[in-house]
Structure 1
Amino acid sequence: MKLIDTHAHMQFPAYDADRAAVLQRARDAGVAMINVGTQYSTSQAAIELATREGLWATAGFHPGHLAIQSHHDAQELREPNQEEFSAARIRELAAHGRIVAIGECGLDYYRLSGVDVAAVKQRQREVFGEQIAVARDMKKPLVIHCRQAFADLIAILNDARLAITPQGNGVIHFFSGTADDAKALLDLGFFLGFGGVVTFAREYDEALRFTPHGRLLLETDAPYVAPVPHRGKRNEPTFIIETAKKIAELRDMEFEELAARTTANAKMLFGL
């Protein structure tokens, strides 16, 4: 393998019409992938896909799917499907041999209009804490989603005093914080994942350059946020090559060196 997409959602309905072709393009390009669960149904689908296609998967509960606020995205779920959070169900799914991490889980304060904001934030923090406990007990790294909530995230992780695996505590996926946020999270033993947004938005450059070689991971978050020159299209794992090229440019590295380092990082953190 040449590159590892550490955060994709190939089990989503967005790929129902041509999933086999998309997976074959990734194989042909030397791109391996971890498909990330967002609730029970999508975690189970990720396991089934991983088993069938020789991929990896995660199991977790995205903060946007809490029944108190559930958000529906047609690329992810054909129909709205509210599921009550249960740590026991996450543990059951995470026991599968293809599961390499717990998540995606975390905090998302972006879509909180029309809800009891204080109640939603509190419930998100509670559910995140329960998934941290699952990760700690099962010694599997966390895949953390954080949007407009970095102060609370860092406070929770500081209080948790994690040492999940010797290789690291997990990854902050699609990192969108400041350089100060990056430093705090790196100090807490996390890797930072960067996706296609770095090919067209410059506000992440400082954090990207600040991240040590040994803590950098690549991702697509497919089907979302395709990189230049594919903006506006459905994203897919093969497009990670464009993201890697841009990150290599920003970090003044050869593409081959970046590919080798980030692939080694993913293998180390997730035990691939």
Structure 2
Amino acid sequence: MNVPVESVRLVDSHCHLDFADFSGEIDQVLDRALVQGVQRMVTICTKVTEFDRVLKLAEAHDVLSCSVGIHPHEADHHPDVDVIRLVELSKHPKVVGIGEAGLDYFYDKSDRNRQQAVFATHIEASRQSGLPLIVHSREADEDTVRLLQQGAGKGGLTGVIHCFTSTQYLADAALEMGFYISLSGIVTFKNAEALRQVARTVPHDRLLVETDSPYLAPIPQRGKRNEPSFVRHTASFVADMLGLPLADFAAQTTANFHRLFRKVPQDGVIA
């Protein structure tokens, strides 16, 4: 049975709306998201050199917030950025998180030692700013956990493992440190049963949903350009997987989102 759109309140905790895929279409993309009950979105920075563009987009739309950070793919190719600079940029009201940052040993587009150094900088910036860390981790569970534990040991670190596709080990370690687990459209894919098994073990008050758009459109939109409105499909799938009504799951994940991203306004739908 379909839940009326107006009874569902969702968020897209991770998207990339500054990418060229959405050029000239942002207003329509946001309108479609609002129609599907997606009331808040965080557009994610991947290069500090392009932060001004990301921020400008967030400033132009009340439903958008943003982050500041360097994706691990960019670690080799990005000018040095220190903790002080990241913390200073994060003071803007629209900036609600640090990242995305982390480790990607699957593609290895940057030297692993350099990835670790840049990740450590973001971990410290998250601690000092008090903003959640948005973590990218692929085929790098042990080093991800080690660096996060080092930061968490100093206190004041929180965040989310975005687009989670990793092992029970990373999930358990992240949850132990107070982190959240965010599920993307990948959880709906037929070959993602191992991910679904891990997702079922995550406490409901630690789950988030996201699109990572323009990538990873969920079933039944797989193969299309992803966009925030499609987060409803992922939320519906996970709700069914967990045996929860969609409206309840949407309310839970939205509450989780606001508990983590404390700078995001909670004033309902903005037309």
8 Å contact 1:12–1:42 — kept in the other structure? Answer: no
Q: Deviations over 1:123-170 (max 9, x none)?
A: 1111111111111111111000001101110111122215326xxx00
Matching residue of 2:30: 23
Structure 1 182/86 Cα, relative in aligned 2: closer, same or farther at 3 Å?
same
- 1:60-112 Cα shifts (integer Å, max 9, x gaps): 11110123xxxxxxxxxxxxxx4313124423321211001100001111123
CA contact 2:15–2:212 (8 Å) conserved in 1: yes
Separation (CA, whole Å) in 1 of partners of 2:138 and 2:16: 18
Partner Cα separation in structure 2 for residue 162 and residue 235 of structure 1: 38
Aligned-partner Cα distance in 1 for 2:80–2:243: 44
Q: Aligned to 2:14, what secondary structure does the other structure show?
A: strand
Q: What pairs with 1:66-215 in structure 2 (closer than 5 Å)? A: 66-67=75-76, 82-87=77-82, 88-112=84-108, 120-160=111-151, 161=153, 163-164=155-156, 169-200=158-189, 201-215=192-206
1:216 pairs, out of 198, 203, 207, with: 207
2:55 to 47, 59, 76: 47
Match of 1:65 among 71, 74, 77: 74
Alignment partner of 2:181: what SS? strand
- Which deviates further from its counterpart, 251-260 or 154-163? 154-163
Higher mean C-alpha deviation, range 136-145 or range 178-187: 178-187
Contact 1:217 1:266 in 2 (8 A): yes
Percent identity, aligned pairs only, is: 37
Deviations 1:35-58 (A, max 9, x none): 110011443222111111011110
CA separation in 1, counterparts of 2:101 and 2:198?
22
Cα distance in 1 between the residues matched to 2:50 and 2:165: 24
Aligned residue for 1:51, secondary structure, equals helix
Partner of 1:76: none
Q: Structure 1: which 4+ aligned runs deviate by more than 6 Å?
A: none
Cα root mean square deviation, aligned: 1.5
Using CA pairs under 8 Å that are at least 6 residues apart, name the structure with larger relative contact order, 1 or 2. Answer: 2
Change (3 A) 1:16 1:30: same
Distance 1:111 1:133 in 2: 25
Please say if residues 37 and 61 of structure 1, whose CA atoms lie closer than 8 Å, have aligned partners that are also in contact: yes
Is the partner of 1:203 in helix, strand or coil?
Answer: helix
CA drift at 1:218: 0.6
Q: Can you give the 5+ residue segments of structure 2 that lack an aligned partner in the other structure?
A: 1-7, 265-271
Please give the TM-score of this superposition, normalised by the length of structure 2: 0.88
Match of 1:56 in 2: 65
Corresponding residue SS for 1:56: strand
What is the TM-score of this pair, normalised by structure 1? 0.88
SS, match of residue 223 in structure 2:
coil
1:146-201 deviation per Cα after TM superposition (whole angstroms, max 9, x unaligned): 01101110111122215326xxx000001111122211110011100000011112
Q: Does residue 1:233 correspond to 2:224, yes or no?
A: yes
- Cα distance in 2, alignment partners of residues 180 and 257 from structure 1: 28
Rounded to whole Å, the distance in 2 between the matches of 1:57 and 1:163 is: 24
Distance 1:164 1:195 in 2: 26
